[in-house]
Structure formats: C-alpha cells, structure tokens
Structure 1
C-alpha cells in the first residue's frame, strides 16, 4: 500500500517542484516608478540624481515599400536565379514622414545591400538559416540607418522567395 502511494507521490512532487522552479525563472515585470517624474533620491547618500533620458514613446509605424525587391543571383557570370523580397521599415509615427521622403534613396541603398549579400553567397544554399538571416537583417538595418538616420528602427523581411533558372 505504501509503495502505491509513493509511486503517485513522486511524480506529483516533481510536478510541483518543476512548477515552482519555472515560476522563479519567469521574468518578473519591472517595478514602475511613482507618479512623480522628477529626480529620484539616491538610497545611500540621499542626493538627488537625474533620471535617465526617456525613449521616444511615439506609437510604432511601418513604411512598406510599394514594390518588391528583385535581386539577381549570378553564378559564373550568368543569372542563375532571382530573389524576390518584400521589405518594410519599422519606425514611429513621428519618423514615418521622414522615411517616406527618403523612399527612393532608401530603396536604392537597400537594393545595393541586397546585391552585395547575393554576390557574397548570402542567398546560396540554405539562405533561410538563422545566421544568414541575422546577417542580412543587420546589413539592411545598417544601410537603412545610414540613409534615414535614427528613424529606421528595423527592416522587416515580409516575403522571401527564390526562383531558380
């Protein structure tokens, strides 16, 4: 009889222990500041310290390029295929007009970056592997920030397709 209880007790205790450990590992929300936005008191010296600069709290916005990007895949001097991408630039409501005003320069710079990525083998083999996609995203964001400045927060790859010859 005690063996039957033990057989049931061990999994139940393991489940409870796992749930408790998982609860401890879950990231707790950060404590919110008081309603006062002014400087805070330093706990040790009692001196006032300036609060950190606030980030732009403007709502997120997206600029979707009206046309897709077509990137030729060249192998041994001949076109071997074509990559087709749909890109969107993540920005804020305040920054969206600046991105729209730079559309043509931004499109040109992103296309150059995509062609460099293609010519260096970025679209060869398993081009959707995480390291290659991460490299592509970083390259596109670097290019976008060079053209549009801090208004470009991310370059989203919405569609990605390869057409082989």
Structure 2
C-alpha cells in the first residue's frame, strides 16, 4: 500500500494538470484572417493610407505582393590579373549581378558596356591596391569592393540600382 499511494497521486496529478490545461487553453480564433497592412483600402481621396513606409514594409514581407526589385546577372565574368613584382601572380574571376528596381533589366543590358568598363576600372584599382592579396574574401575587403562597384553602377543607372552582388569569386594563383 505504501508503494501504491505515491503512484496513484502521481497519476492523479498528471490527469488533473492535463485537464486544467485543456480547459484553460485560449479559445481558437475562428474569425476571417486580417489582410496585411499593404492591402488596406484606399481613402476617399484615393491614397493608400498615411503610413506609406509601413505599407511598403508589409508588402516586402507579403509573399503575394509583386517584387519591387529584380536581379540582373551580367553576361560575362570579369577576369582581373593580380600583378606582383611586374608579373601576373594570379587571376581573379568574378561574376556580378545587380539588384535593380523592377523593369530595369533592359536598361541594364543596354548600358552593360559602360557598366563593364567602370566595373573593370574599380576591379583593377582594387587589385593594384592589394585588395585581392592574402585573405581577399575578408568581409572588410569585400564591403570596400561592393561599395566602389555600387558607386559606379549608380553613376550609370542612377538610384534604380540598390546593390551589386558578387555571385562568384575565384582566385587562381599562377
């Protein structure tokens, strides 16, 4: 009897706790789902609401919303020689893409020769400054490079370019 009483109390405690949890759980919501903030009805004057930044943020997280940016991969890779002591010590090969506002793909391809020229200037300067030596993929080096590439892209395409993405980077020592 002494062994049975603790076992019964334990079972009774588990049942009481489970029953209390079941009875005290929050009620299930059966109301219709609330639309995201970006789908708020327009006001009487046709504007979408006073909180434009919040509407854009909600649209950015809404999987149903059309994308506001697209990615344009530049057709060919960039090959950059790394020169040490007057000789080519290595080659760095990069693939780049641009993040642009939707609908800018044709303009990017139309201006690709100018973009490539500007990007190559930046890449050669980066190589000559030692940017592709040692731990060249260190985040500090890559941020400097991305910033310089973005500056060139914005000179050619304006504010439609929001980022330059380094898709692939390979260094082959000679």
Q: Above 0.5 in TM-score?
A: yes
The answer for the alignment partner of 2:160 in structure 1 is 151
Larger radius of gyration between Structure 1 and Structure 2? 2
Q: CA RMSD in A?
A: 2.3
Aligned partner of 1:46 in structure 2 is none
1:160 matches 2:169: yes
Cα distance in 2 for partners of 1:73, 1:125 equals 11
Q: Distance in 2 between matches of 1:51 and 1:86?
A: 36
Q: Which residue of 2 aligns with 1:131?
A: 140
1:38 offset after TM fit, Å?
Answer: 5.9
Matched, 1:97 2:99: no
* CA displacement, residues 46-86 of structure 1 (integer Å, 9 cap, x when unaligned): xxxx967x97x863222211111000001121111100000
Q: TM-score, structure 2 length as denominator? A: 0.63
- Flag structure 2 segments of 5+ consecutive residues without an equivalent: 1-35, 57-65
In the alignment, structure 1 segments of 5+ residues that lack a partner are 1-30, 41-49
Matches within 5 A, 1:16-31: none
Q: How does 1:1-165 map to 2 (within 5 A)?
A: 32=37, 34-35=40-41, 36=43, 37=47, 40=50, 59-165=68-174
Match of 2:134, SS state, is coil
CA contact (8 A) 1:99 1:151 kept: no
